[in-house]
Amino acid sequence: MLEELLKRRIIPVIVIEDAADAEPLAEALLKGGIDIIEVTFRTAAAEAAIGRIAKAFPDMMLGAGTVLTTEQADRALGAGARFGFAPGLNAKVVKHFQDAGGLFMPGVMTPSEIEQGLELGCKVLKFFPAAQAGGPAMIKALAGPYASQGLKFSPTGGITLDNMMDYLSLPVVSAIGGSWLATKKQIADKDWTAITNQAKAALARAAG
């Protein structure tokens, strides 16, 4: 799972209010060339949305975001999520997700949190909130002492089409997470064409 995840450089971070939007949203991303999605547990529809995507698109790399508790971890995995992200590092949640066979990437901002993540066996850590925590310059500074451990970062927060390459150009960054790829308004408006076009534009930018 980790090997496959590391091949994807752009991860859409999704907030779904209505589970019925899950399939057309996933299809829009797939049409744009992105076969990975992180559905955040910021809404009551998250679990159902994950389940619907898992059933309709079993080959899509499907993950859950904002997994804050072991209960949410169980719901995410039970619905079909194969990986999980969190904004912070909760050792209990990390271990719970890992013990269930899932890949988990907790959020970090400091060297101490990074070392906790490494101790838990996490080789990819979410750097959040990326822009507010120092952006590419901070990640580059953190890479110095930890890159030798095989660590990769997946920054999220304040990343856009215009600045994404500032992050992806860093060898220690495996992928970026972006909510701009499918905004809450676009999902509510069912503007699937715009989402497909945004996915295409992001992939084109990443390819240089």
Out of 38, 95, 115, 184, pick the active-site residue. 38
Contact 200/32 with Cβ under 8 angstroms?
yes
Contact 72/62 with Cβ under 8 angstroms?
no
**Interhelix angle 22-31/46-56, nearest 10 degrees:** 50
Q: What angle do CA 173, 178, 182 make, to 5 degrees?
A: 155
Cα–Cα distance between 133 and 130 in angstroms, integer?
Answer: 5
95 is catalytic: no
Out of 7, 31, 126, 184, pick the active-site residue. 126
Q: What angle do CA 43, 152, 165 make, to 5 degrees?
A: 80
- The enclosing H or E element of 197 equals helix 192-207
38 is catalytic: yes
Task: Write out the catalytic residue numbers.
Answer: 38, 126
